[in-house]
Each structure stands twice: as structure tokens, then as C-alpha cells.
């Protein structure tokens, strides 16, 4: 029977994240204040523990800021856009309704009258 700890997601200490992301700890601590997506849990001793998803977010923030040249505000907006739900597909209009058919018929006859006036 597998241990429960083996099923749990791996957590990364701040030092590990700094090495993996090539960042200083103060940068990560600052980003935690700016990006709500970063909210690491803390161990009993106060050590920050990051999930894999948070590590991926950190790497994305680094790319946005350092490679793509975004500001903090711009990176926040981009992350929000990337994590937002995709927009719902537009619904198709109703195939036909008597009211719509009457409006279209009126528009057609008015356009025909204008066309005759131009001839």
C-alpha cells in the first residue's frame, strides 16, 4: 500500500526555487506581494514551500519581465488573461422569427424604393 506522502505534490523550498529559476530570494518575496497567483504555503518553521504550479508561474513571470520586457503591471495583466476562462462561443442567431422577417421585408422594400429613385 503506497504511503500518503508519496501521493502528495512535491513542494520546493525557496532556495530550490531560486536555483531553478536563477533568481534571488528577495525577488521572489517581492513578486509574492505583486502577483496574487504566488502564495506559497509555509512550513511550521516559516519556510516558504512552493508547488510545481507556482514554480511554473514564477518561470512565466520571469519570462514576461526579463525576456519579453513587460512591466510588473503588464505582466500581471498578461497572467490574468492567460489564466482566465476562455470566452464562451457565440450562440447562433435564431433561424427565423416573424418579427425579424417583417423587419427584413421592410428594409428590402425601402432599399428597392431608393434604388428606383436613383435610376
Instruction: Say whether 48 sits in a helix, a strand or coil.
Output: strand
Tell me what percent of the chain is helix, strand and coil, each rounded to the nearest 5: 60, 5, 35
Number of separate domains in the chain:
1
What residue numbers bound the domain in which 49 lies?
7-83
Task: Note the pLDDT tens digit of each residue in 10-60.
Answer: 899 999 999 999 999 999 999 999 999 899 998 888 899 999 999 999 999
Residue 25, domain CATH = 1.10.1660.10
Position 95 in a domain = no
Position 73 in a domain = yes
CA 90 vs CA 86, 87, 107, 108: distances in Å? 12, 9, 26, 27
Position 103 in a domain = no
Instruction: Provide the pLDDT for residue 106.
Output: 87
Position 40 in a domain = yes
Instruction: Provide the pLDDT for residue 13.
Output: 94
Instruction: Give the Cα separation of 67 and 42 in Å (integer).
Output: 30
Higher-pLDDT residue of 5, 112: 112
* Alpha helix stretches (DSSP H) within 40-118: 52-62, 72-83, 98-118
pLDDT-derived band at 101 (thresholds 50, 70, 90) equals: confident
Q: Does the predicted TM-score (pTM) go above 0.75? A: no
Position 11 in a domain = yes
Instruction: Provide the pLDDT for residue 89.
Output: 65
- The pLDDT > 70 percentage for the chain reads 83
Position 102 in a domain = no
Amino acid at each position: 500500500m503506497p504511503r500518503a506522502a508519496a501521493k502528495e505534490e512535491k513542494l520546493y523550498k525557496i532556495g530550490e526555487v531560486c536555483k531553478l529559476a536563477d533568481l534571488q530570494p528577495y525577488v521572489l518575496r517581492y513578486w509574492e506581494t505583486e502577483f496574487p497567483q504566488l502564495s506559497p504555503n509555509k512550513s511550521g518553521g516559516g519556510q516558504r514551500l512552493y508547488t510545481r504550479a507556482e514554480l511554473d508561474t514564477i518561470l512565466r513571470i520571469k519570462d514576461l519581465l526579463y525576456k519579453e520586457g513587460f512591466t510588473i503591471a503588464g505582466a500581471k495583466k498578461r497572467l490574468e488573461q492567460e489564466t482566465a476562462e476562455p470566452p464562451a462561443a457565440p450562440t447562433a442567431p435564431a433561424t427565423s422569427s416573424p418579427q425579424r422577417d417583417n423587419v427584413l421585408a421592410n428594409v428590402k422594400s425601402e432599399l428597392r424604393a431608393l434604388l428606383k429613385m436613383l435610376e
